[in-house]
Amino acid sequence: MASQEQLSAIKVARVLMVGAGGIGCELLKTLALSGFQDIHIIDMDTIEVSNLNRQFLFRQSHVGQSKAKVARDAVLRFRPNISITSYHANVKDSRFNVDFFKEFDVVLNGLDNLDARRHVNRLCLAADVPLVESGTTGFLGQVTVHLKGKTECYECQPKPAPKTYPVCTITSTPSKFVHCIVWAKDLLFAKLFGDKNQENDLNLRSNDDANSSEHSEDVFECGKDKDIEQYGRRIYDHVFGHNIKVALSTEETWKNRNKPRPIYIKDVLPEKLTKENGNTKNGCATDDVSAMASLGLKNPQDVWGLAENSRVFLESLRLFFLKREEEIGNLTFDKDDQLAVEFVTAAANIRASSFDIPLHSLFEAKGIAGNIVHAVATTNAIIAGLIVIEAIKVLKKDSSNYRMTYCLEHPSKKLLLMPVEPYEPNKSCYVCSETPLSLEVNTHCSKLRDFVEKIVKAKLGMNFPLIMLGASILYEVGEDLEEDMVAIYAANLDKALSELPSPVTSGTVLTIEDLQQEFSCIINIKHREEFDEEKEPDGMLLSGWVEAPVDKDNNKPLGNGESTSNALPEEIMEGEKDVEIQETSEGTENVTGKKRKLSEVSKSTTPDHSGLSDESRNHNQLEKIDVDDEDDELIISDDWESLTKKKRL
């Protein structure tokens, strides 16, 4: 039973929740039932049908409505006397600034992406408001506490970069089904239904065929008067037949690999059968805009053969042009788009057949394509309870009892919940310790635009950057800028660093600020002439900022202090939202602060856990899993037993 001190702290507290998804629904319910009287919720998402199996504040009738608002209304029905304020908005909106965050006693995160988490972390640091982070992946979960100057901030340790694959592996030598999925989703789907000007290796030609009538025109161009059936067959033969044939002409590639086989539609489906695809006269429901429905395929967990995949491929392509033609040219893959998932599944399976890779069901392919780890409502409820426990400690200022708690899938030393004491701030953290960064860059070739996009926004996570060299402003973003200044800064973007009004050369010290986040850092510039295009594709190298280390043997990013697991297939591991196609680069070692201790509870059952939560420190032990779900991400070790015996450096 709560003490009078706890009850008093709870009743007067103003709490900000960010995220009203899987964890958020459970958290709001638990906060209300625990006696919290003043709760604010921010969430920009609307309710989807797929949310209803675990986000129990929502019903079928709520689909399409604001998550934050519906969650508020649902809880007020059984706790009508408390105050809940909902915001259907992006937490990165300018109104949610440092002054807004200062109004709260504690912030509770239930976010689903790294960018928003970093943003909230910086606002909490600037406002000096405690932050309780959380995440779940399947049966795994974790809760962490972050207080300015007392514990490490969310960015004190490296976070995982999106899973990357070498371009040549995706386009030429796939060996796993995930490679085929990435090819189908990010190359073929994008080429057919996205930006028509996008160039990629799908339309490569052999020298022998370059002048033939079949390949002299753009095979991906579909005129309005062309037969969609014939267009589909042409695309099929080009990407699964012609391109494979061209790839086989490079004999050196296949000396130590199994050769793929070109697949042509005439060898799989007679033309007569192809034309019967989706024939509405046979009672198929093309109005559902689903190739499966059109072809009478009902079970998404069935593994289709080559012929079935070929029919789905042609039918889904036909339906895109027949039912959704106005969208073509602007489409991007969405895991909730049934027709897109059907197309990608079929295309990936046909390619897998060519390379003798085991085929997968639509259900499996959707999980891989969307980086989906299916959520477990029980885990969300457990994590929500732990968040509230830590929030109460924060409100009582009971810092000696703060805990990072990991929820495990299988017991370790008879424990399913593993509590450890938080780390002290990392003295090398550029966010909370303001340690200067250094950037190696060719100042004569690299433009300011490259620096802004690749470093300031992508790596440092700034949304409204201000770049200064001494008292000179090189670039600024803001709603209140005058038009002439906007024009000057826009012109600067296309200038090489050394050609800016205040030249950036070797030895230059830049100050980068984000006024919304009230965050700034210093970058020391060092000129460097050449970069390895494969290992350093950005053409610049930032030091002091570290991504997740990479396992050189397996090419897999390793743990980061969030949540881990070895319980999931490799195909769905990684990607803070998306899988990227690029050359992978070497990871860098990170510097850490003081050792985290175990709680007394943990010590009583595990004699030596001094390295228990060194997920991001013990590089050879951990893997990171990313989820495409509101429930977000998390970490757990591959070998907890051996991990706990390791001492922190």
Residues 439/455, Cβ–Cβ less than 8 Å? yes
Q: How many CB atoms lie within 10 A of CB 299?
A: 10
Burial 543-575 (b: 16+ CB within 10 A, else e): ebbbbbbbeeeeebbbbbbbbbbeebeebbbbb
Residue 429 assigned as binding residue? yes
Q: Has 20 been labeled as part of a binding site? A: yes
CB 371 within 8 A of CB 571: no
Q: For strand 14-18 and strand 106-109, is the pairing parallel, antiparallel, or unpaired? A: parallel
Listed in sequence order, the DSSP H helices in 324-439 are 338-354, 362-369, 377-396
54 is an annotated ligand-binding site residue: yes
Residues 6+ positions from 198 with CB-CB distance below 8 Å: 190, 191
The answer to the question of whether 53 is labelled as a binding residue is yes
CA 442, CA 540: separation in Å to the nearest integer? 7
d(CA 200, CA 450): 22
Listed in sequence order, the residues at least 6 apart from 148 whose beta carbon sits closer than 8 Å to its beta carbon are 124, 125, 128, 432
Query: What is the spatial distance between Cα 230 and Cα 434, in angstroms, rounded to a whole number?
Result: 61
CB 380 within 8 A of CB 373: no
Contact 416, 407 (CB under 8 A): yes
Among 408, 407, 436, 403, CA closest to 420: 403
Strand partners, 634: 563, 625
**Long-range contacts made by residues 609-613, C-beta under 8 angstroms, separation at least 24?**
609/420, 609/644, 610/644, 610/647, 610/648, 611/643, 611/644, 611/645, 611/646, 611/647, 611/648, 612/418, 612/420, 612/643, 612/644, 613/404, 613/406, 613/420, 613/561
Strand 556-557 versus strand 580-581 pairing type: unpaired
Ligand-binding annotation for 67, yes or no, is yes
| 23 known member of a binding site | yes
Q: 284 a known binding residue?
A: no
Is 156 annotated as a binding-site member? yes
Residues contacting 283, CB < 8 A, separation 6+: none
Instruction: Please list the residues that pair with 526 across neighbouring strands.
Output: 440
461 among annotated binding-site residues: no
Residues tagged active-site: 168
Which uninterrupted H or E stretch holds 106? Answer: strand 106-109
Cβ atoms 400, 111 nearer than 8 A: no
Structure tokens at 318: 């036909």
User: Is 590 annotated among the ligand-binding residues?
Assistant: no
The length of the chain in residues reads 649
Tell me: is residue 432 an annotated ligand-binding position: yes
Look-up of token digits 């921010």? 42
Q: Is 577 annotated as a binding residue?
A: no
Residue 24 among known ligand-binding residues = yes
Q: How far is Cα 29 from Cα 31, in angstroms, rounded to an integer? A: 6
| Beta-bridge partners for 511 | 468, 522
Residue 140, classed as helix, strand or coil, is strand
DSSP-H helix ranges across 217-335: 228-236, 243-248, 265-268, 271-275, 291-295, 306-323
21 is known to lie in a ligand binding site: yes
Instruction: Measure the CA–CA gap between 6 and 392, rounded to whole angstroms.
Output: 7
Binding site membership: which residues? 19-24, 43, 51-54, 67, 112-117, 153, 156, 429, 432
Binding site membership for ATP: which residues? 19-24, 43, 51-54, 67, 112-117
Binding site membership for Zn(2+): which residues? 153, 156, 429, 432
